[in-house]
Structure 1
Amino acid sequence: MHFDLLFQNFFAYTITGLAIGAIYALVALGYTMVYGVLQLINFAHSEVFMFGTFAVVWVMYAFGADPTTSTAATIGMLLVALIVAMAVSGSVALALERFAYRPLIKRNAPKLVILISAIGASFVLSELMGLRDNIAKFLTIDDTFVRYVDKARDNTSLPLDINPHRVFTLGDYGVTTIDLLLIFSALVMMLILDQFINRSRLGRGIRAVAQDPESAALMGVNATRVIQVTFLIGGVMAGAAATLYMIKIGTTRFNAGFLLGVKAFTAAVLGGIGNLRGALLGGLVLGVAENWGSAIFGTQWKDVVAFVLLILVLLFRPTGLLGESLGKARA
């Protein structure tokens, strides 16, 4: 164990942990929203995030970005990429709801069947991205879109460099613009979503369906529309997380969503599955715990620490750190 390494670099491990935790939190919102309404885990949500990461890369390709691109142009491209990634992830999430969930929900299928459908959809989406070169070749468009489909099962990186700039020093660590961007973005998006759920008409509909679907239907709430909005919101948040992920990490691949999706699900359970504020708290706590664990035990134990933390929380507080369901959220 290397506690001295953690103490010597405490602020570095903590701030970078919060930055990664912010990404976990935004992806966790998709899990917690769907669970709050349907009492189901959307295991294909990780691929919704993955599609967003590729949308960011492809926007950069479309703009002809390269390492010589100026800072002002990079910021402009990233803003466009954010919008496109949110739109792409939101669309993929809506497609999941329409084809993997709605037919089974209408037939009152057992939840286990719906869960299996979500897992199957996850593999389908992942493999579609991994086979995009073969699909393009079959459609005879591989020459036109070669940069977008080439080496489909390899890592795909941003075509430009995003260099962080130090803003201020905290202890022994220089907090960068990227650190602040990730943490601040997660807090702002969480605040906006929280206000939307608590104050808007659609938000009240979501809470009503989450709390009592039958009573909500009797009161005129369109459950199908509520479920669509729920998936859309989760997808949009995943697209935002995908943009932040590419800014921070810079590389994605066809199965990039798997491990991060598991971590985000862990964050949702850690904070209290079905709790929006719990998703934020769980993501930040998980990111910090991972970094602290990697400092103490070594980087190879990083994932072990994350899941041991989850087990401990479930043993001593099964409802998570906050434990309040979406249906009981304060108005």
Structure 2
Amino acid sequence: MDIFLQQLINGLTLGSIYGLIAIGYTMVFGIIGMVNFAHGDVFMVGTFTALIAFLLLTTLLGITSIFLVLAIVLVVAMAFTGLVSWAIERVAYRPLRGSFRLAPMISAIGMSILLSNFVQVAQGPRNKALPPILPDVIVVWDSGSYAVTLAYKQILIMVVTAVLLFAFWWLVQKTALGRAQRACEQDRKMAALLGVDVDRTISLTFVIGAALAAVAGVLYLTYYGVVNFADGFVPGVKAFTAAVLGGIGSLPGAVLGGLLIGLIETFWSAYFSIEYKDVAAFSILAITLVFMPQGLLGRPEVEKV
């Protein structure tokens, strides 16, 4: 029971990070029907931006308040990553929007390789470490032989994920930008005829998705304390898996899928073999899609005639 509770906490923490990245996938796919395969590397760029900003603030400027540092790092990472994603959309995706379906995918894979290699050259291939952030823990349960703990950084990750999920659900459902996004999702040509600036809406969607990936990057760095130029691929693939599992196009589904992937990984690692945790996650995805092709919370695709 003790191990179960600890892995439940660990799984929800990891799944929250996957869920934040998955929201970016599902927002872009919902509007333009394209999987942004560079999104995982945008997350990695956000993580490195957070690392550099953190070191500059603490070593050069000497700021000692960890919450002030995290707040500044979060703003810097979101702004820079949003700018990068905006440039990617303008340069690599927008010119190919009316092309055949494989062209944007090939362009996205190319941008993924470009970002990964750029960071490798700029920062080097080795792991970059960060001093421990919020190392204190709360003992949730102590049976004498095993103590179940909840770290402050785990609380931070889960709270931030819940707040951002609600905030972006409200943005999509209650704001003018959200109405424009939903109109573009249903029919981009008709939305343009009704006065919606489709290009601006898509660009803002890329920026918002990248900002969420940057938040996930900051939380990832806070949780693990280390980052590598290759860290965009595996979390990106798992976040995409989470978006598909939850129902791509659904914001709650993206977070639900992320939580499920995180829980599957941690429980499999604890009770079975850690080497096969990825196999277990992808197997659950395959089984789910056999019986629920639209995902857990996705809507069945309606063919337009």
TM-score, length-scaled by structure 2? 0.93
* 1:153 equivalent in alignment to 2:125: yes
2:140 alignment partner in structure 1: 169
* 1:62 equivalent in alignment to 2:56: yes
**Residues 314 and 174 of structure 1: CA distance in aligned 2, closer, same or farther (over 3 Å):** same
2:93 alignment partner in structure 1: 101
Could you list the per-position Cα deviations for residues 183-217 of structure 1 after superposition, in whole angstroms to 9, with x for gaps in the alignment?
11101000000000000001100000001112211
Unaligned runs of 5+ in 1: 1-6, 133-148
Instruction: Compute the displacement of 1:255 (Å).
Output: 1.3
CA RMSD of superposed structures (Å): 1.9
Instruction: Compute the displacement of 1:46 (Å).
Output: 0.7
* 1:276-295 to 2 correspondences below 5 Å: 276-295=251-270
Instruction: Compute the displacement of 1:253 (Å).
Output: 1.2
Task: Find the aligned partners of 2:237 and 2:141 in 1 and give their Cα distance.
Answer: 31
Task: Find the aligned partners of 2:77 and 2:53 in 1 and give their Cα distance.
Answer: 9
Is the CA contact 2:86–2:206 (under 8 Å) kept in the aligned structure 1? yes
Instruction: Compute the displacement of 1:111 (Å).
Output: 1.5
Instruction: Compute the displacement of 1:91 (Å).
Output: 1.1
1:91 alignment partner in structure 2: 83
Instruction: Compute the displacement of 1:74 (Å).
Output: 2.2
Task: Find the aligned partners of 1:166 and 1:250 in 2 and give their Cα distance.
Answer: 16
Is the CA contact 1:275–1:325 (under 8 Å) kept in the aligned structure 2? no
Task: Find the aligned partners of 2:128 and 2:300 in 1 and give their Cα distance.
Answer: 38
Task: Find the aligned partners of 1:170 and 1:196 in 2 and give their Cα distance.
Answer: 38
Unaligned runs of 5+ in 2: none
2:40 alignment partner in structure 1: 46
The equivalent position to 1:13 in structure 2, one of 7, 12, 24, is 7
* 1:1-331 to 2 correspondences below 5 Å: 7-65=1-59, 73-105=65-97, 108-132=98-122, 149=123, 152-158=124-130, 160-170=131-141, 172-324=147-299
Task: Find the aligned partners of 1:64 and 1:190 in 2 and give their Cα distance.
Answer: 30
Is the CA contact 2:23–2:243 (under 8 Å) kept in the aligned structure 1? yes
Paired residue type of 1:131? V
**Residues 10 and 26 of structure 1: CA distance in aligned 2, closer, same or farther (over 3 Å):** same
**Residues 274 and 326 of structure 1: CA distance in aligned 2, closer, same or farther (over 3 Å):** farther
Question: How many correspondences in the alignment?
Answer: 297
Task: Find the aligned partners of 1:198 and 1:64 in 2 and give their Cα distance.
Answer: 39
User: Which deviates the most, 183-192 or 288-297?
Assistant: 288-297
Paired residue type of 1:99? V
Task: Find the aligned partners of 1:326 and 1:316 in 2 and give their Cα distance.
Answer: 15
Instruction: Compute the displacement of 1:164 (Å).
Output: 2.8
Instruction: Compute the displacement of 1:36 (Å).
Output: 0.1
Is the CA contact 1:24–1:284 (under 8 Å) kept in the aligned structure 2? yes
Is the CA contact 2:41–2:233 (under 8 Å) kept in the aligned structure 1? yes
Paired residue type of 1:127? N
1:145 alignment partner in structure 2: none
Is the CA contact 1:272–1:279 (under 8 Å) kept in the aligned structure 2? yes
Percentage identity across paired residues of the two chains? 41
TM-score, length-scaled by structure 1? 0.86
Task: Find the aligned partners of 1:322 and 1:248 in 2 and give their Cα distance.
Answer: 28
Task: Find the aligned partners of 2:74 and 2:258 in 1 and give their Cα distance.
Answer: 21
Is the CA contact 2:20–2:212 (under 8 Å) kept in the aligned structure 1? yes
Is the CA contact 2:134–2:152 (under 8 Å) kept in the aligned structure 1? no
Is the CA contact 1:207–1:326 (under 8 Å) kept in the aligned structure 2? no
Instruction: Compute the displacement of 1:8 (Å).
Output: 4.3
Is the CA contact 2:2–2:148 (under 8 Å) kept in the aligned structure 1? no
Task: Find the aligned partners of 1:308 and 1:127 in 2 and give their Cα distance.
Answer: 31
**Residues 21 and 36 of structure 1: CA distance in aligned 2, closer, same or farther (over 3 Å):** same
Paired residue type of 2:179? R
Task: Find the aligned partners of 1:326 and 1:56 in 2 and give their Cα distance.
Answer: 38
Is the CA contact 2:41–2:116 (under 8 Å) kept in the aligned structure 1? yes
Task: Find the aligned partners of 1:326 and 1:169 in 2 and give their Cα distance.
Answer: 44
1:144 alignment partner in structure 2: none
3-state SS of the aligned residue for 1:167?
strand
Is the CA contact 1:271–1:282 (under 8 Å) kept in the aligned structure 2? yes
Paired residue type of 1:104? L
Instruction: Compute the displacement of 1:165 (Å).
Output: 2.0
Paired residue type of 1:311? A
Could you list the per-position Cα deviations for residues 44-91 of structure 1 after superposition, in whole angstroms to 9, with x for gaps in the alignment?
00111011111111112212449xx89x52222111111111112111
Instruction: Compute the displacement of 1:170 (Å).
Output: 4.7
